Copies of this chain bind each other. A is one copy, B any other.
Amino acid sequence: MIRENMGGTNLLDALLRPRSIAILGASDDPTRIGGRPLAYLKAAGYAGRIFPVNPKRETVQGLPAWPSIDAVPESVEFAILAVPAALIIEAARACGERGVKACVVFSAGFAEAGPEGEARQAELLAVARTYGMRIVGPNCLGLFNATDGFYPVFSTSLDRGLPPKGRLSIVSQSGAFGTHLYWLAKERGLGMRYFISTGNECDVHVAECLRALAEDPGTGVIMAYLESAKDGPMLVEALETARRNGKPVAIMKVGRSEVGAEAARSHTAALAGADAAYDAVLRQYGAVRARTTEELVDIAHICSHGVFPRGDRIGLVSISGGIGVLMADAASDAGLDVAPMPEATQARLKEALPFASPRNPVDITAQAFNDFGLVESNLKLMAEEGGYDGIVVGFSSVAGSPVFAEPLLAALGNVRRSHPETLLIHSCLVPDALRLRFEAAGVPVFPDPSHAVEAFAAAARFGRAFAREERPAPVLPAPADIPRRPLGEHEAKRLLAEAGVPVPAERLTGSAGEAVEAFRAMGGRKVVMKLVSPDIPHKTEIGGVLLSLADEEAVRAGYATLVERAALHAPQARLDGILVTPMLEGGVEMIMGVQVDPVFGPLVMLGLGGVFVEVMKDVTLRLAPFGEEEAMAMIGELRGRALLEGARGQAPADVAALAKALAALSRFAAANAGAIESVDVNPFRVLPKGQGAVALDALVVPRRS
């Protein structure tokens, strides 16, 4: 029976679908850590074999007990290790010897508890590897499979009843947090499939579980809680798998703030990586990150209905102008399109309901409640003629009135059935039993009108991500030959130019004569001259940049001046030469950069230059490599993007050239991730439309070997 409902990977087979379980440290007391799992297994009617191990007892909770796992007469696929930390290694080894495929370790006292615990955890992992046995934990709450009644978990929340079965799976680094989420989901009426708390993650970690859940046919929605990812690339792979399989991943990553990140570090003792990197990766790979647990469960809740709109056109309906306006505010905040109804449709609506506001938000007024046929026909009109991807109706407490509840339920249910592609959401204040009847009719209920709108926005974000065509992976250039020493501006620009990032047509010169020749070659236009030395990274500080040199005399004198300044201020510096470059004016200054994140690898940063980056922190990130389409999306995320569109009377900037350069930089970053620490292209000047863009300065910092 257990094997019937398979699917997904071997990991889920080993962890959640074994045919037998041993409980080391099994207790007769069903409220103790060693007793709870057995009580739950029995209550859930687990169909596999159960072997309590307890040398001091004949039976445990009515089942025959065994003195050790060696004494168990049949094969054991899964084991719970509910013994003190000091006994865990021995217990794990015994399990390995018996051919156990996976175990869960509840005990604390490992990596979270100082150097001694760390050593113990390393030993535990070594034992697991020796026997090819998977380990969940240590220091974890356990896991469960609600579909098959498999409950190796000691959460007290199950005291209040086992979860209803369903298609929601939860994976969480924190047992308490995972339980919190499970509890909230249960209150909403969401049925569970799998629950995994990963604890210290000595072996099995969140990303691996996510990847397996993304392949599990029985899982419809995934909720995840994360403090830090043990394996960044696998997290990316998991998210991409989920997206490709149309499985929404709603995720809580804590540690957004400095104080939060610090607390998270002290909590997990894990290498956390930059929160901004997580944020970028989650957005890039189609997961939706929540800020609060309520929001997280809202997302799982809306996704449980399986309707993922492809667009963000939202219709809003109320019987009270105020709630309509509130929802319009929320839709605007969420970046949704509160498009007006077509004029003709507005006219037809007005015909039926003369006092209505038919535009959008549509106020059908309490009048519509005299004839629920009108509610139904108007919603259908909106779905058919308004072209809305979703409709939120906000009927508040009126929907719960004994007089109105039944006809409203029928009306909304009919609309849902006749327009299954339109995500219909009902915001109302109704008793729980009635709420569940709306849900059963396929109409999700969100009491708060603003949250109803935000839930639509989340579903539409998944819809867009699921609909995204497979983009061919960018073709990476061959790795560049990057020396493990500081690089001068000219070298950095050469590397970037070879990768496709445009740089000015400039010349490195070794004498005043060469400089004048370069000036002539540039057609006699004004030039800029710069000291180039790997030993002088901040050349402006010693007067190492001269602007607006307009004739040969000035260029010749400029050469001498720069060499003098170098000799005076940085006598030890190796001089690569003097760079002569055309002076460019106009356009918009941007910053592009690369940072190699310890968890995810090379991330590309884009920001508007100057005060925007430094004071407003107006930047956006993506994992490298990516194409120009993604680069355009990055540009669109900048708060100050109006500056590129021609604010302040300027010409619109060449954003296509910017996107092309950004994608090229991302390919360079990906191809050379092992050889670099960071890249700074600052400023990167984006010229008016059609005129391209150029890196005015660049810094490549090779990785310290």
Contacts and interface: CB of A to CB of B under 8 A. Distances in A.
Contacts of A268: 321
Interface stretch (A118-126, A381-389, A394-402, A573-581): A394-402
A255 B616 contact: no
Interface in A138-190: 156-157, 159-160, 172-177, 179-180, 183-184, 187
B174 A320 contact: yes
Given A451-B292, A616-B616, A176 B328 contact: no
A639 B255 CA distance: 22
A486 interface: no
A330 B291 CA distance: 8
Contacts of A260: 325-326, 328-329, 332
B325 A264 contact: yes
A267 interface: yes
Given A180-B397, A359-B266, A614-B647, A450 B328 contact: no
Chain A contact-residue range equals: 35 or more
Nearest to A187: B429
B324 A402 contact: no
B177 A451 contact: no
Contacts of A157: 397-398, 401
A14 to B, nearest CB: 26
Contact of A322 (B174, B266, B361, B639): B174
A179 B320 CA distance: 11
B611 A320 contact: no
Contacts of A618: 616
A404 B643 CA distance: 58
Copies per complex of this chain? 2
A325 B255 contact: yes
A339 to B, nearest CB: 9
A307 interface: no
A611 B322 contact: no
A323 interface: yes
Contacts of A643: 611, 615
Contacts of A398: 156-157, 176, 179
Contacts of A326: 177, 252, 254, 260, 292-293
Nearest to A252: B326
A31 interface: yes
A648 B266 contact: no
Interface in A40-78: none
Contacts of A615: 639-640, 642-643, 647-648
Nearest to A354: B113
A31 B257 contact: no
A257 B329 contact: yes
A258 interface: yes
A344 interface: no
B263 A361 contact: yes
A319 interface: yes
A263 B294 contact: no
Contact of A324 (B267, B324, B329): B267
Interface in A620-659: 639-640, 642-643, 647-648
Contacts of A450: 291-294
Contact of A330 (B159, B255, B292): B292
Contacts of A183: 396-397, 429
A255 B322 CA distance: 9
Interface in A442-461: 447-451
A254 B108 contact: no
Given A156-B398, A183-B429, A321-B263, A329 B254 contact: yes
A285 interface: no
A97 interface: no
A505 interface: no
A180 B323 contact: yes
Contacts of A466: none
A433 interface: no
Contact of A320 (B176, B366, B648): B176
Given A176-B319, A180-B429, A614-B647, 12 more contacts: A159-B401, A174-B322, A174-B323, A176-B320, A179-B396, A252-B326, A254-B326, A257-B328, A263-B328, A291-B333, A611-B643, A615-B640
Closest 10 CB pairs of A and B: A176-B320, A257-B332, A267-B321, A174-B322, A177-B322, A260-B329, A292-B450, A260-B328, A254-B325, A183-B397
